[in-house]
Amino acid sequence: MKLQQAIEQANLAVVPYIMAGDGGLDQLENQMQLLSNAGATAIELGIPFSDPVADGPVIQEAGSRALAAHISLEQILKTLTTSKIDIPLVVMSYFNPIYHLGVERFIELAKKTPIKGLIIPDLPYEHRDLIMPHIENTDIALIPLISLTSPKERMELIAKQAQGFIYAVTVNGTTGERAEFGDKIDENLTYLKTISPVPVLAGFGISNLDHVARFAAVCDGVIVGSKIVQLLHDGKYEELSEFITGASAIK
């Protein structure tokens, strides 16, 4: 199923993030199936990188564990070619690992997997042509990020070209659990919804069902990272499943 279609069909899109290779690549399929069985709409897979500028401490530590096990982007993609997961996967990678592997090689391998979306947080909108020509004839969407500090003119420019969904960043800074969010994010999300041709999902800092309910009122879904990564690392699988199931039922 295409990414946008899966999100639009969900009651509330819930996209958990995990670090691919954290716990070993032999566990990746089981981890994804756990999330899918709990009701995840799609799964965001982080690619370990040595300089993850947008990541908070929990995700940085997960990336460090994967790097210590010598997990590479190519190994992850080859593992995913045998995946039986039946919901869309979204890869979140900094540009360096993709460039190192080779953009054409990356897309060639990705087309053989359930990957339907690509997030590159350090690739500015103005440089999207480094990727776009390679995915034009695929069902892989390049997902744009829009931050709190983006002026309305830029929001409109990015939204006009958006594919799959828009990743609306809810905080200024890195990923990680937050106690509260600024009021401006509600205004931003409401405005994005009025101009976007694709669903709008909120991400960064979302860590409990109250957060999910708040954002459910103003957008189409949520992306949850640090909380999921920590629960997975701690082996709290039942709590993880209950959170995703509960979040999916909100709206």
Rounded alpha-carbon distances, angstroms, from residue 64 to 26, 56, 202, 235: 17, 12, 26, 18
Question: pTM here?
Answer: 0.94
Catalytic residue among 51, 55, 104, 210: 55
Q: Is 28 helix (H, G, I), strand (E, B) or coil?
A: helix
What DSSP element (H or E) covers 78? helix 73-80
Catalytic residue among 8, 22, 29, 44: 44
Please check the confidence at residue 177 and state whether its pLDDT lies above 80: no
**Known catalytic membership, residue 180:** no
- For 11, the domain range is 3-248
The single-letter code of the amino acid at 31 is Q
Domain count, the chain: 1
Q: What are the structure tokens assigned to 91, written together?
A: 């890869």
Please check the confidence at residue 133 and state whether its pLDDT lies above 50: yes
Per-residue confidence (pLDDT) for residue 182, from 0 to 100:
63
pLDDT in tens, 214-237: 999 999 999 999 999 999 999 999
- Of 55-64, 151-160, 179-188, the range with the lowest mean pLDDT is 179-188
Distance, in Å, from the CA atom of 230 to the CA atom of 90, rounded to the nearest integer, reads 19
The CATH number assigned to the domain holding 199 equals: 3.20.20.70
Please check the confidence at residue 162 and state whether its pLDDT lies above 50: yes
Q: Which residue has the higher pLDDT, 109 or 149?
A: 109
Reading phi first (left if > 0) and then psi (alpha if -120 to 50, else beta), residue 23 is in: left
**Known catalytic membership, residue 177:** no
Burial 36-73 (b: 16+ CB within 10 A, else e): bebbbbbbbbbbbbeebebbbebbbbbbebbbeeebbb
